[in-house]
Structure 1
Amino acid sequence: MTLVELLVVIAIIGAMVALLLPAVQSARASARSAACKNQLRQIGFAIIGFCDSNEGQFPHNVHFGETLSWVDTLAPYMESVDAIRICPEDPIADERLAIKGSSYVANDFIINDIAANQVSDKVRFLRQIESTHRTMVGFEIADKWGADPKKIVEHAHASNWFTPLNIQRGFVTWAIEQDIHLERHFSASNYLFLDAHVETISSDQIKQWVDEGFDFSKPQ
């Protein structure tokens, strides 16, 4: 084989790699998204199990590691909490796992502290939900929260997203993005519903709901 022929072969191989690499990367990303959905599904079934064992009451949220987070209270209802608490697409997965954090945050309309139930639309019991298949309970955490052991964030402040002031000033999407990641997987993220099914919803869909004034986080 001459030098020219060798260079041609190398060029062809390089072109093939360039063509195949995006497909391989896309397949890997799809696999990570599927793994994330499976983990959220397990969390969903664990929440249902917790409710069954506690007269229908949901787990409570906490603030900054003051006690076990709602994810940890689900331990009796799954094989391993640590195996499901971190999304494989989370850029700080190892750091978050080391401090017992999670890639997932709860909807504070559903999983909240006792005092918060004085707030309109917040619930404490599964029986208060009419449509579990349309009620979101879990989201993917925003990257901004990092992995500070003094600031473990385990719930989203969904009840504060669609406030009159945020709506008036056009800040609803901004408020949402302070709590949850809208594009963890490609241009979408995974969302856990109370019947334990998981949907991948695009950021465009979320923004459309915001524009329409639809508070997708409220119990349905």
Structure 2
Amino acid sequence: MPVRHVDRLRRALVETGENKICVANGRLCSAQFSEQLRDLRGGAAPSHPFGTVRTIEIVKTPQGVADTASAHDWHTDGNLLLIPPRYFVLYFDRVDEIGGGISTFYPIRSLLSSLPWWVIEALATTQVKLARDTFRWTGTLLAIDRCGLNFRWRFDKDLRPEVVDARGTQGKQAIDYVKEIMTEKHPIEYAARRGDLIFVPNRLYLHGRSPLALESSRRLYRGWIE
């Protein structure tokens, strides 16, 4: 019987609240991770993209930066969805041989509280477009939806916001300001171990990772929870 990661996570969530990053450790295969993900979703059947499992590792034909050895800048997940996931879960099946792929996290509320008002106003007003392959989303990077505060952020070679209508604000300058100020922030760093299962509130933390070895065998499974 597999280690009950989900039970450990639930105990941690009760103790710390659902606004914390929680970690458990044990050995799982992909099918067992899917089972754990279903349990965390209250037994709900997979409904793409929620409850489905994505394998992230270096491949010859990458879907994006996550499938390469490059560093992954801070971002939130599911930015092209109408309602992004509230949480995501990562399982580290294999880790980088030379210690690369350090996970980084930064509290979104701490970032927002450090921004001047003109930037907040622009983020909540400017209409931007996010587009990748056949997927499109248009709206404001900062908003309130049915799940609460929602800050969409991704700015890299795969996906970045394109201003459609600044609506009288300094929209482009605000986006550039956020991009620049992130370089001055000091994130939480975590060197995951093989077998780590990490539960992250997507709406409360930006996340990223450091570069990997060029031939890294690092492999992890990721699932979203609505």
Q: Which category of TM-score, normalised to the shorter sequence, fits these structures?
A: under 0.3
Return the structure number with greater strand share: 2
Larger RCO (alpha carbons 8 Å, 6+ apart): 2
Please, what TM-score do these two structures have when normalized by structure 2?
0.24
Tell which structure's C-alpha radius of gyration is larger. 1
Please, what TM-score do these two structures have when normalized by structure 1?
0.25
